[in-house]
Every structure is written in structure tokens, then in C-alpha cells.
């Protein structure tokens, strides 16, 4: 009898607990039903998209180089002697053929005067013997002797004039003369440097590129140089390429010509160089952040009907902010460029902004 009472008591307790728990279970099921039936759009990831379009692109490689003068020479004398005149101003422009330095030529001028006198006498004798020969009053041998004497004197005159010409140091081309190292009264020899002369418009730039670009670096290719000091860019063209690859550095040397109308480029300056290998007119470029690594290569997410669809792509040229895609995308595709970390293949997404 006592056992039955305990059993009935436990049944009563469980009944009360059941009455208390049933409303909570119904409420929990109702809440779960609301969550399950919630609009899927409210669970979509907000993303920015980039609409793929064709753009022009330059395939470029980067190098560095040194500016050099278009023409450069050290002014020196061909003969030894005392400087009697300096006809240039340091740092100023000169024209081709201008006399820059004069060396004492007094002895040579005296020798020239003497030889000129001999020339007059020799010409007169040659003329008289020629007339005698025409009248058969002298022999051919006698005339030839006088003619030989005249030619010898003419050679002496020519030699003296050539020596006098060497006493005048002239500009071999238009350019700017540098700082001089001699003064009037200085005794100079062929080993003495007088000054330097440089032609700086246009300028040349010398640079090297890896050997794998040997076949692409050709005459006429466009380059752009930038001065690190000012950041200003100048355009030029390659005009010569070394036909041999350097065995030590495995690079090929090349030179380009760059206009320097304003005189802003200086010989010896370091420059950064962009070399244009080819111009592409219809390249597909997308932001770099849109491309993510994958175990099969690289991929992007394309927005299609509210879904993030994974697509493998092949990347080409890379710029500072964009990547060329050579396969895997079509013009007009909408590429997801934000919230990529949260994306899952075929996950639900919602466009927040369309970027240009």
C-alpha cells in the first residue's frame, strides 16, 4: 500500500513538470520555424562587383640605366706648344667649327712664308720650261725636273698649313664646353686635357635587361625613363641593341635616344626605365584583390543570379593594381571584389556597389 502511494506521488510530480515544459517546447519550435523560414536574402553576403570590360594595356618590363651624352669628347691638342688664346667660356654652348684654343704658331707661320716664296719661284721656272718644251728648246727630262721641284715645294706648303691648322683646336660638333684645365700661357702636349665637350640634345640612355628578353628588345621599341630626383617621365626609343649576351651577368645591353629639348636631363644621372614590349588594345583587366589562390591555380568569384560562382582563371600581365586575365573570363562578367574571405562556392550574395 505504501509502495502504491509513492508511485502515485511520482506520477503526480512528472505530470506537473510536463505541464510546465510543454509551452516552452512549443515556443522553441515556433522560434526555430521563424528562423528556418526567414528570407534567404537576409542571410546573403554583401559584396562589391566589377564588370569586366576590354581596356588597352602595355606589356612592359622594368629596368634601370644611366644617361649618357649623345656625343662626348675630351678636347686635347695634337701638338705641343704654348697656349696663346682661349676662345670659349666654360659651361657655354659652342658651334661645330668654332675655334676654342689657339697654340703659338709663329715659327710655323715663318716657315709657311718661306715655302710660299719658294712656291712662286718654282711656279715661274715650271712655266718657262713648259714654254721651252712646247718650242722644242729643252728636253722633257729638264721640264720634268722643274715640275718635280714645284710639286715638292707645294707639298712643303701643304704640310706647313696642316701643322698650323693643328694649332687651332676647334669644336667637332655643337655642344656645351665643360670646365677648362688650362690657361693662356700654359704649355700643353697631346696628353693635356683642355676641357670636355658634350652634346646633350638628344640624350642617350644605356641599360640592360635579362637575356630572356633578347628577342623582344628591338630597335624602335618605346621606353619611358623617370628621374628619381624629380619623378618626371620622358619618352624615348631604342636605337641599338648589343648583339651579344654578357656572359657574366646574362643580360643584354641596349641604348635608347631621348629628346632633351629643355636640358633637364644630365649625363651620368641614374634613371628608372619602363620598356614597352607590346601594346594590347583589348585586354581583360580586373582588380588584383579579386584573384585568390587555389590548389588548381588561381580563381575568381563571378556574381550570377545572386550566387558567388567560383571560376578558375589564367593570369597574365600584372600592374600595380590590376591583373590581366587571358582565359576564364568574358567581357560583361561581374567579378566579386570584396568580402571574398566570407564567400563559399555558390553561396548567396547581394550586390552593395558596382565599381568602374
Q: Which string of DSSP letters, residue by residue, matches 3-52?
A: HHHHHHHHHHHHHHHHHHHHHHHHHHHHHHHHHHTS-GGGGPEEEEEEE-
Question: Whole-angstrom Cα distance, residue 6 to residue 10?
Answer: 6
Q: How many domains does the chain have?
A: 4
pLDDT at res. 50: 87
For residue 250, count CB atoms less than 10 angstroms from its CB and return exposed for 0-12, middle for 13-18, buried for 19 or more.
Answer: exposed
pLDDT at res. 8: 56
pLDDT at res. 34: 46
Contacts of 332 (CB under 8 A, 6+ apart): 51, 52, 53
pLDDT at res. 96: 94
Quick check: is 193 in a domain? no
Question: Whole-angstrom Cα distance, residue 168 to residue 104?
Answer: 9
Quick check: is 194 in a domain? no
Same domain (yes/no): 204, 183: no
Same domain (yes/no): 132, 155: yes
Same domain (yes/no): 120, 206: no
Query: Pick from 230, 259, 280: which residue ends a domain?
Result: 280
Question: Whole-angstrom Cα distance, residue 98 to residue 81?
Answer: 20
pLDDT at res. 19: 57
From residue 269, alpha-carbon distances to 66, 80, 257, 264, 299 in Å are 6, 35, 15, 11, 43
pLDDT at res. 246: 92
**pLDDT string in tens for the chain (356-residue length):** 444 555 555 565 555 655 555 454 444 444 444 444 445 445 678 888 889 988 888 888 899 999 999 999 999 999 999 999 999 999 999 999 999 999 999 999 999 999 999 999 999 999 998 998 888 888 899 988 999 999 999 999 999 999 999 999 999 999 999 999 999 999 999 999 999 999 999 999 999 999 988 888 889 999 999 988 888 999 999 999 999 999 999 999 999 999 999 889 999 999 999 998 888 888 888 898 889 888 888 999 999 988 889 889 988 888 888 898 888 888 888 898 888 888 888 888 888 888 86
Same domain (yes/no): 312, 253: no
Question: Whole-angstrom Cα distance, residue 86 to residue 103?
Answer: 9
Question: Whole-angstrom Cα distance, residue 344 to residue 47?
Answer: 13
Helical H segments across 66-202, by residue range: 106-134, 140-165
The residue range of the domain holding 117 is 75-188
Query: Pick from 137, 165, 188: which residue ends a domain?
Result: 188
Same domain (yes/no): 213, 268: yes
In 10 A of CB 110, how many CB atoms? Answer: 11
pTM over 0.75: no
| Bridge partners of residue 293, in order along the sequence | 298
Q: Contact at 8 Å (CB) between 326 and 316?
A: yes
Only one residue has cell 515556433, namely 30
pLDDT at res. 7: 52
Amino acid at each position: 500500500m505504501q509502495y502504491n502511494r509513492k508511485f502515485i506521488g511520482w506520477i503526480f510530480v512528472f505530470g506537473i513538470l510536463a505541464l510546465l515544459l510543454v509551452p516552452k517546447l512549443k515556443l522553441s519550435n515556433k522560434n526555430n520555424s521563424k528562423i528556418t523560414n526567414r528570407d534567404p536574402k537576409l542571410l546573403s553576403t554583401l559584396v562589391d562587383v566589377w564588370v569586366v570590360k576590354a581596356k588597352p594595356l602595355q606589356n612592359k618590363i622594368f629596368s634601370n640605366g644611366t644617361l649618357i651624352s649623345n656625343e662626348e669628347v675630351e678636347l686635347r691638342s695634337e701638338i705641343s706648344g704654348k697656349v696663346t688664346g682661349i676662345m670659349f667660356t666654360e659651361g657655354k654652348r659652342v658651334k661645330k667649327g668654332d675655334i676654342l684654343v689657339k697654340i703659338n704658331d709663329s715659327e710655323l707661320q715663318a716657315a709657311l712664308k718661306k715655302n710660299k716664296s719658294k712656291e712662286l719661284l718654282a711656279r715661274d721656272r715650271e712655266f718657262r720650261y713648259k714654254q721651252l718644251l712646247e718650242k722644242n728648246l729643252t728636253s722633257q727630262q729638264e721640264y720634268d725636273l722643274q715640275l718635280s721641284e714645284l710639286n715638292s715645294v707645294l707639298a712643303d706648303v701643304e704640310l706647313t698649313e696642316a701643322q698650323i691648322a693643328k694649332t687651332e683646336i676647334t669644336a667637332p660638333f655643337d655642344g656645351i664646353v665643360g670646365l677648362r684645365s688650362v690657361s693662356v700661357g700654359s704649355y700643353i702636349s697631346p696628353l693635356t686635357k683642355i676641357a670636355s665637350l658634350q652634346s646633350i640634345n638628344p640624350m642617350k640612355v644605356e641599360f640592360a635587361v635579362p637575356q630572356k628578353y633578347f628577342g623582344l628588345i628591338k630597335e624602335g621599341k618605346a621606353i619611358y625613363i623617370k628621374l628619381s630626383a624629380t619623378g618626371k617621365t620622358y619618352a624615348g626609343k631604342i636605337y641599338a641593341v648589343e648583339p651579344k649576351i654578357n656572359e657574366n651577368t646574362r643580360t643584354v645591353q641596349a641604348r635608347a635616344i631621348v629628346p632633351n629639348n629643355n636640358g633637364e636631363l644630365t649625363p651620368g644621372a641614374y634613371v628608372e626605365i619602363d620598356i614597352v614590349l607590346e601594346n594590347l588594345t583589348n585586354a581583360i583587366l580586373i582588380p588584383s584583390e579579386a584573384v585568390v589562390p587555389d590548389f588548381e591555380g588561381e580563381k575568381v568569384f563571378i556574381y550570377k543570379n545572386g550566387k558567388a560562382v567560383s571560376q578558375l582563371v589564367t593570369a597574365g600581365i600584372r600592374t600595380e593594381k590590376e591583373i590581366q586575365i587571358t582565359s576564364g573570363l568574358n567581357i560583361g562578367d561581374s567579378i566579386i571584389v570584396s568580402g571574398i574571405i566570407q564567400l563559399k562556392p555558390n553561396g548567396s550574395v547581394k550586390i552593395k556597389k558596382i565599381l568602374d
